[in-house]
Amino acid sequence: MSQDETTAEAISLLQDLGLQEYEARCFIALTKIHEGTAKDIHELSDVPRTRVYDAVRVLESQGLVEVQHSTPQTFRSVGIEEATQTLHQKYDNRIETLQTYLENTDYRDSGADDEQLQEVWSLNGHEAIESRTLQLVDEAEFEIGLLVVDEGILSDALFDGLHEAQEREVSILLGGQSETITARLEAELPMSRVFETELDWLTGQSSDTEVAISRIVLVDREALLIGSYYPDADGTQNEQAIFASGLRNGVVVLLRRLLSTGLAADRDPQA
């Protein structure tokens, strides 16, 4: 990555963290020269000189820039470590505030019976699907069924979640589409039941042109996630998923029965 590309990416990230473009440009300019006048910042950042002062005042108020009241005024950025800590704290505070607002939002109960409730939702993107997978594992009360087709989903975070579930005495059944996957599952979680699936149709005939399953997660026999890779027009693989819940949801019942060969029959009164 070139210096210009690195600078552009840093400016973009600062904007994601709440700075305006001119503020981000001025801050990056000051990190390069450490201290300078408005003219120096203007020449390095391409921010109009009349706007430099406004941008620097905002940066000063956020603890990112210090001002020396000389003639002309001189500005300097705080150290990179201090700046990142300041931005990190600001970001965390916003997340905590958002969480408080959301928790205090009026919740209207539909009154539906949880056992009768049938829902199917879609998720798009590996990060969103990974996050929901970890949430399901974290919330499991008595049983987790995980069928791994794509070895790439075996992240450290997933193994950590499964280890924590074991400590909660959650029963864990792990299935792998290949010997490599099952061997890794057995090595990481030797106390769990592991089997190798022979369902070759999960991966399709051609991974480049057909939909292929990436993961199946069944938690407490009532929450189900099925991840799939869908080929885009340019040939890249985009992971999508459906998430279903409800003891009597048809999709959940079907997958529960599909996985029943590896589950103890006497523990599945709904199947």
pLDDT tens sequence for the chain (271 residues): 788 888 899 999 998 888 999 999 999 999 999 889 999 999 999 999 989 999 999 999 989 999 988 888 899 998 888 988 888 888 888 888 888 888 887 655 555 554 444 567 888 888 889 999 999 999 999 999 898 888 888 999 999 999 999 999 999 988 888 888 889 999 999 888 887 776 555 555 444 556 678 898 989 888 888 888 876 666 667 888 888 876 565 566 666 666 555 444 334 444 4
Helix (H) or strand (E) holding 39: helix 38-45
Please check whether residue 129 is in contact with residue 225, taking contact to mean a CB–CB distance below 8 angstroms. Answer: yes
Domains identified in the chain, total number: 2
80/210 same-domain check = no
Rg (CA), the chain: 26
What is the predicted pLDDT for the residue at 271?
Answer: 41
Find the domain containing 70 and state its range: 3-103
Domain harbouring 65, CATH code: 1.10.10.10
φ/ψ of 39, rounded to 5, equals: -65, -45
- What DSSP designation does 191 have? T
Angle formed by the axes of helices 49-61 and 38-45, to 10°?
100
Q: What are phi and psi of 6, to 5 degrees?
A: -65, -45
pTM over 0.85: no
Paired residues of 228 in beta bridges: 213, 240
Task: Characterise 63 by phi-psi region: left (phi > 0), alpha (psi -120 to 50), beta (else).
Answer: left
Q: Are residues 163 and 94 part of one domain?
A: no
Select from 244, 261, 238 the least CA-distant residue to 132.
244
Tell me what pLDDT residue 149 has.
Answer: 86
Tell whether 125 is covered by a domain.
yes
CATH number at residue 152: 3.30.870.10
Report the candidate in 44, 56, 73 with the shortest Cα–Cα distance to residue 20: 56
126-132: long-range contacts, CB 8 A cutoff, minimum separation 24 = 126/239, 129/215, 129/225, 129/227, 129/239, 129/240, 129/241, 130/155, 130/157, 130/158, 132/225, 132/241, 132/243
Q: Count Cβ atoms within 10 A of the Cβ of residue 258 and give its class: 0-12 exposed, 13-18 middle, 19 or more buried.
A: middle
Same domain, 80 and 123: no
Q: Looking at the structure, tell me whether residues 124 and 257 fall in a common domain.
A: yes
In-domain check, residue 111: no
* Centroid of chain to Cα 161: 14
Q: Are residues 17 and 45 in the same domain?
A: yes
Residue 21's SS3 state is helix
Q: Give the type of residue at 57.
A: R
User: Does residue 108 form part of some domain?
Assistant: no
Q: Which of 78, 103, 128 is the last residue of a domain?
A: 103
- At residue 4, the pLDDT reads 81
Residues 83 and 213 in one domain: no
Is 51 part of a structural domain of the chain? Answer: yes
- Residue 247 domain-assigned (yes or no): yes
